[in-house]
Structure 1
Amino acid sequence: VKDIITGRVHITAQNHGYAVDADSLPRDVEVTHVNLNDGTVEGMRHKGLPIIGIQYHSEASPGPRDNEYMFDRFLEMVDATK
């Protein structure tokens, strides 16, 4: 999975029982992560509200804390709304 914002690529676990169609997203939601194998949407965020979503198993920092940054982003959004 590639993080479009940072350019970093992460090895993830996935279960694609469904996928988000990027063309169906409203203008105020942007794709943030893509699957490099099949091009599907793996993450998105709202441009104006503190809303993010990912479509892969971020686990809780597998390996050398690969996806811990997603939890950090979420907590930063929570802190900003206090």
Structure 2
Amino acid sequence: NKRVEITSQNHGFCVKKEELPKSALITHINLNDQTLEGIFVPDLKAMSVQYHPENAPGPHDSIYLFDSFLNLLEEKIENLYP
């Protein structure tokens, strides 16, 4: 999607796009320096962002990430205990 989020971040490193597994989906890119800020790996049911989704400025911009994470957990639990 074409959403812009205002986030708080402080990191001196980033994941290299070319080092990701083939199945990884890039979900977030930093508009300032084009660094990778978020990924989702469907076959591992793993997601990650390289910023603070719970922090200001824009404290609600990334709230959907917590819902996505909880959905992944619920799906995993349902598969473990059908």
Give the TM-score normalised by the residue count of structure 2: 0.83
- What is the root-mean-square deviation in Å for CA atoms of aligned residues? 1.8
Once the two structures are aligned, what percentage of the paired residues are identical?
Answer: 44
1:42 aligns with 2:37: yes
* Ranges in structure 2 where 5+ consecutive residues have no aligned partner: 78-82
Supply the distance in 1 between the matched residues of 2:40 and 2:67 (Cα, whole angstroms): 15
Runs of 4+ that moved beyond 3 A: 60-64
Q: How many residues align?
A: 77
RCO (CA 8 Å, sep 6+): is it higher in 1 or 2? 2
1:1-82 pair list within 5 angstroms = 6-59=1-54, 63=58, 65-82=60-77
Give the TM-score normalised by the residue count of structure 1: 0.83
Residue-by-residue CA offset, 1:22-76 (whole Å, 9 max, x unaligned)? 0111102121100000000000010222100000111168646221100000001
* Ranges in structure 1 where 5+ consecutive residues have no aligned partner: 1-5
